[in-house]
Structure 1
Amino acid sequence: MPRAPATPAAERRAAAVRALLELAADMAPDQISTAAVAGRMGVSHGALFRHFPSREALWTEAVHWSTGELEIRLEALAGQAFRDPDGEVAALLKAHAALVQAHPGLLRLWFAELQRPGTSPAREEGKAFMGRFRRRLQEVIAAGQARHWFEPDLDPGELAGLLVAVHQGLMLQGLAHDSLDQLGERTEQAMGLILRGWHRRPPAEAGPEAAPGG
């Protein structure tokens, strides 16, 4: 009897990441075993270990996939024309939100890695991506300053960090309420409120001269 064709390694690895993220959507990542991932995939534990020799390797692969997917989504925005920096900032953060909405387990996995003591390849890759993401926001804000859109004394790096912090807070809030449905819209609204406070204001017009003796 002819043997069934082997599943390509890349396809099996992608299936393992999907299974991990599906499980993480309903349970704490620390409680997910590689045996559970294998069961979700419908393969033996040994078959999974041929591709991922450790739990850490699988977690790292999931973060690697997510950062790669985000880079693709962000690159797609690079060629778009935005009317103002506010729109570009919102688009960048909404691209991030869209991936999280599509894969809620990914958010649980990210935060679990960030809270873990010490370091890990998954944690370092996630931190490296967030550093690049923050610099991208910083560049957009600086470009807005060059176009006289934002106040000239604004520190682009500090504002970029604030925007990321607010976005992460909204994601955590979504997890707390078991709903990420409105994450993109809430992110856009929050960014609009924050950036509005940094818009450059036209100089005040000089008032009429005081009347003599007034």
Structure 2
Amino acid sequence: MPRLSAEDRKAQIIAQVLRLASEIGPDRMSTTDVARAVGISQPAVFRHFPTKGDLWLAVAENVAASLRERWKEAAGQALGPQSRLKGLIGAQLLAVAERPALPSLLFSRELTVDNPPLRKVFDHLLASFQSQLADSVTGMQTEGILRPDMAARDAAVLLTSTMQGVAIRWTLGNRCFDLVEEGRRLIDVQLTLMSVQARTLP
């Protein structure tokens, strides 16, 4: 079997970290588990990532790059602000469905306590996503779809919270329902409640 390049080996390690984090949880996963899954020694893992914190940071940066690419593609295919908003949300839900470790990682000790640089990556990622949602909400308000007396930033936070809530429910429920379908359904409910038509109801 040909020897992998350093970059290919790093990518392989990151992929196994995400798989193991999904299966046993990020806080229970050890570098020994990672080495065994990849088929290398534990010291070999540390040759590529000097500390476990460095490994998690590389995972976060990999996830962030992938999500930003998905958002860019979704936005590029949109025909207007409503299409853009729904495309961004659909892309995010699909990314979580394909990488089910993400909800667990967001509430792990590694993220919330032990690794501030990791927290920073995800904080910036969330801020970027909410900013794009807010821009789409503003466009929908301009087109008369959503009520104008609502702060676009507040709407973006509410939509993001809905997505996070359904992702947590999906994780705790052993992924027993279609995350993308359920997430889109609940987002449609939220958008209906935010609509101009809902504002005019008695």
8 Å CA contact 2:81–2:137 kept in 1: the answer is no
The corresponding residue for 2:46 is 49
**C-alpha distance in 1, partners of 2:194/2:78?**
22
Structure 2 residue corresponding to 1:91, chosen from 87, 90, 105: 87
Structure 2 residue corresponding to 1:122, chosen from 118, 124, 129: 118
Relative to its length, the structure with more helix (as a share) is: 2
8 Å CA contact 1:90–1:187 kept in 2: the answer is no
**C-alpha distance in 1, partners of 2:124/2:64?**
9
**C-alpha distance in 2, partners of 1:101/1:147?**
32
Task: Report matched runs for 1:103-114 at 5 Å.
Answer: 103-112=99-108
Pair 36,199 (structure 1): closer, same or farther in 2 beyond 3 Å: same
Structure 1 residue corresponding to 2:13, chosen from 13, 16, 40: 16
AA of the residue aligned to 1:49: F
8 Å CA contact 1:24–1:32 kept in 2: the answer is yes
Deviations 1:17-46 (A, max 9, x none): 111111111112111111110111000111
The corresponding residue for 1:131 is 127
Pair 203,111 (structure 1): closer, same or farther in 2 beyond 3 Å: closer
Offset at residue 115 of structure 1 (A): 6.1
CA-based RMSD: 2.1
The structure 1 segments of at least 4 consecutive aligned residues displaced by more than 4 Å after TM superposition are none
**C-alpha distance in 2, partners of 1:135/1:84?**
13
Count of residues paired in the alignment: 200
Percent identity, aligned pairs only, is 25
TM-score (normalised: structure 2): 0.91
Ranked by relative contact order (alpha carbons within 8 Å, sequence separation 6 or more), the top structure is 1
TM-score (normalised: structure 1): 0.86
Task: Report matched runs for 1:1-214 at 5 Å.
Answer: 5-82=2-79, 85=82, 87-112=83-108, 116-117=112-113, 119-179=115-175, 181-201=177-197
The runs of 5 or more residues in structure 2 that have no matched partner are none
